[in-house]
């Protein structure tokens, strides 16, 4: 279900259900990559990957660990370790520590390994031009999220991006594995936010998308913007770039979130790489493009989420 707001671009591509990733690719072809590169949101009504939903919908991980249970944290490692002819339980394995039972942890680990493998393959089928696609992380977030707040994705606490990351195109997918719908709100893409919030943001912003998104989030501007409402059911998914589309989880309990990167040269249109577009977006919205991203980042790092700042930001937007 999507309830569209007339003041927000209709950037949704809702796919018709298919029985396999191959059938999705056959039907939609390059439309998927083209839509995503245009800062669009792709809604996949049925992810063709089997999973023991009954089992996983009984599990709940601590909220503070919801983004730390993933492939980079060893969730796919074997539960057992070998030392010569002896085999022992890997007591530091995250699933052993969370579930406290070797049989349950082993079962969950095998389900996760199989699901992740099929997801990797599926994304390579859906986006076949992204030949350099590499995994950053696949997290299993089995905890409740309620109204997390409208935001852009920010990494490393808003630090400037390393040069090596400025030529990479981000691909993100969120798969609902809970019994209830996962509800989102999405608002304007980053170029629209820069224009709409011009009077409430600093005159100077750097050519660094991570710093710009962090500054916008710190100013608490996004909650006052119009938004779409989206609800997607069990084993459906949203493919969206959270660094260019403002979004928030309104309610959800269990999701698999995967992040991948590919080289910009593999994009259908490398000129649409967000990092390559940002300076133009800033100039078109009337900002000065600052040269020192780190200095600008540090200048606004002290901002707190005070009621006074929220009121000032909303007043600025009202006068825009």
Per-residue pLDDT at 307: 40
For residue 274, what is the enclosing H or E element? helix 274-284
Question: What is the distance between the terminal CA atoms of the chain, rounded to a whole angstrom?
Answer: 31
Domains of the chain, residue spans: 2-318
Per-residue pLDDT at 311: 46
Provide the residue-wise pLDDT of the chain in tens; the chain has 320 residues.
899 999 999 999 999 999 999 999 999 999 999 999 999 999 999 999 999 999 999 999 887 776 678 999 999 999 998 888 888 888 889 999 999 899 999 999 999 999 999 999 999 999 999 999 999 999 999 999 999 999 999 998 888 999 999 999 999 999 999 999 999 999 999 999 999 999 999 999 999 999 999 999 999 999 999 999 999 999 999 999 999 999 999 999 999 999 999 999 999 999 999 999 999 999 999 999 988 778 778 877 766 444 445 545 555 555 55
Q: What are residue 141's phi and psi, to 5 degrees? A: -100, 90
Per-residue pLDDT at 63: 78
Per-residue pLDDT at 294: 81
Report pTM.
Answer: 0.90
Q: Quick one: which of 224, 261, 279, 264 has its CA closest to 246? A: 224
**Could you tell me if 168 and 264 are in contact, meaning their C-beta atoms sit under 8 angstroms apart?**
yes
Decide: helix, strand or coil at residue 150.
coil
* Residue labelled with tokens 């200048």: 299
């Amino acid at each position: 279900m999507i309830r569209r707001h007339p003041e927000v671009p209709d950037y949704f591509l809702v796919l018709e259900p298919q029985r396999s990733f191959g059938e999705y690719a056959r039907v939609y072809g390059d439309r998927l990559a083209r839509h995503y590169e245009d800062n669009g949101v792709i809604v996949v009504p049925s992810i063709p990957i089997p999973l023991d939903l009954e089992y996983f919908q009984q599990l709940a991980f601590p909220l503070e660990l919801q983004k730390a249970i993933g492939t980079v944290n060893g969730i796919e490692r074997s539960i057992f370790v070998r030392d010569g002819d002896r085999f022992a339980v890997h007591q530091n394995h995250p699933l052993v520590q969370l579930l406290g039972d070797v049989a349950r942890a082993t079962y969950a680990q095998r389900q996760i390994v199989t699901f992740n493998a099929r997801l990797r393959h599926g994304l390579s089928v859906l986006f076949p031009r992204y030949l350099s696609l590499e995994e950053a992380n696949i997290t299993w977030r089995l905890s409740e999220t309620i109204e997390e707040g409208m935001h852009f994705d920010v990494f490393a606490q808003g630090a400037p991006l390393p040069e090596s990351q400025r030529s990479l195109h981000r691909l993100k997918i969120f798969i609902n594995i809970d019994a209830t719908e996962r509800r989102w709100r999405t608002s304007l893409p980053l170029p629209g936010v820069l224009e709409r919030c011009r009077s409430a943001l600093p005159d100077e912003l750097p050519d660094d998308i991570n710093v710009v998104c962090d500054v916008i989030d710190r100013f608490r501007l996004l909650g006052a913007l119009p938004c779409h409402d989206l609800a997607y059911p069990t084993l459906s998914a949203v493919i969206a770039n959270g660094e260019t589309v403002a979004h928030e989880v309104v309610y959800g309990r269990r999701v698999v979130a995967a992040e991948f990167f590919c080289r910009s040269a593999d994009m259908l249109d490398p000129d649409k790489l967000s990092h390559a577009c940002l300076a133009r977006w800033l100039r078109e919205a009337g900002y000065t493009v600052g040269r020192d991203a780190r200095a600008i980042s540090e200048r606004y790092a002290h901002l707190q989420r005070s009621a006074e700042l929220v009121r000032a930001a909303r007043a600025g937007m009202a006068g825009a």
